[in-house]
Amino acid sequence: MKIELIQPFINAADAVIGETMQCTAQAVDVSMDEGVYRKTGLAARVTITGDIEGRVIFDVTRDTAAKVAVCLSGSDAPPDDDLMRETVCELANLVIGNAVTSLNDQGFRFKVHPPEFHSSEAGLKGSEDTEALVMRFDTPAGSVFMNIAMQYHHRRRQDTQFD
Amino acid sequence: MEQFRALVRAQDRQPVRYLVVDDSIFARKNLSRIIEAFGGQVAGEAGDGCTAITEYDRILPDIVFMDITMPQMEGIEAAERIVHLHPNARVIMVSSVGYQENIVAALQKGARHFVQKPVKPELLYEVVKYVLGEDGIAVEPQEEVNGESVQ
Q: Which pLDDT score is estimated for A44? A: 93
Share of chain B above pLDDT 90, in %: 79
Q: Which pLDDT score is estimated for B151? A: 39
On chain A, the residues whose CB falls within 8 A of the CB of B70 are: 114
- A4 interface with B at CB cutoff 8 Å: no
pLDDT per residue rounded down to tens, chain A (163 residues): 677 778 888 889 888 888 877 777 777 888 887 777 777 789 999 998 888 888 889 999 888 888 888 877 777 788 888 888 988 998 899 999 999 888 888 888 888 888 988 766 655 554 455 678 888 988 888 888 998 888 776 555 455 444 4
Domains along the sequence of chain B with CATH? 19-139 (3.40.50.2300)
Query: What's at A35, amino acid-wise?
Result: G
On chain B, the residues whose CB falls within 8 A of the CB of A104 are: 99-101
Compute the CA torsion angle B126, B83, B66, B136 (nearest 10 deg).
Answer: 30
Task: Specify the higher pLDDT residue, A157 or B103.
Answer: B103
- Report the alpha-carbon distance of residue A136 to residue A78 in Å, rounded: 25
- Report the alpha-carbon distance of residue B63 to residue B128 in Å, rounded: 8
- Does domain A3-160 fall into CATH 3.40.1550.10? yes
Task: Specify the higher pLDDT residue, B113 or A113.
Answer: B113
Q: Which pLDDT score is estimated for A121? A: 61
- Residue B30: its H or E element: helix B25-37
Q: How many residues does chain A have?
A: 163
CA distance B74 to chain A (A): 10
- A105 interface with B at CB cutoff 8 Å: yes
Residue B147 has pLDDT above 90, yes or no: no
Domain spans in chain A, listed from the N-terminal domain onward: 3-160
Radius of gyration (C-alpha) of chain A in whole angstroms: 16
Contact between chains at A73 and B26 (C-beta distance less than 8 A): yes
Residue A108's DSSP bridge partners are none
Backbone CA torsion sign across A60, A66, A69, A74: negative
Compute the CA torsion angle A110, A118, A126, A55 (nearest 10 deg).
Answer: 10
pTM of structure: 0.84
DSSP string, B38-72: TT-EEEEEESSHHHHHHHHHHH--SEEEE-SS-SS
CA distance B96 to chain A (A): 5
**According to the per-residue pLDDT averaged within each range, which of A87-96, A146-155, B110-119, B137-146 is highest?**
B110-119
Task: Provide, for chain B, the percentages of residues in helix, strand and coil under a 3-state DSSP scheme, each rounded to the nearest 5.
Answer: 45, 20, 35
Contact between chains at A112 and B118 (C-beta distance less than 8 A): no
- A11 interface with B at CB cutoff 8 Å: no
- Report the alpha-carbon distance of residue A112 to residue A95 in Å, rounded: 12
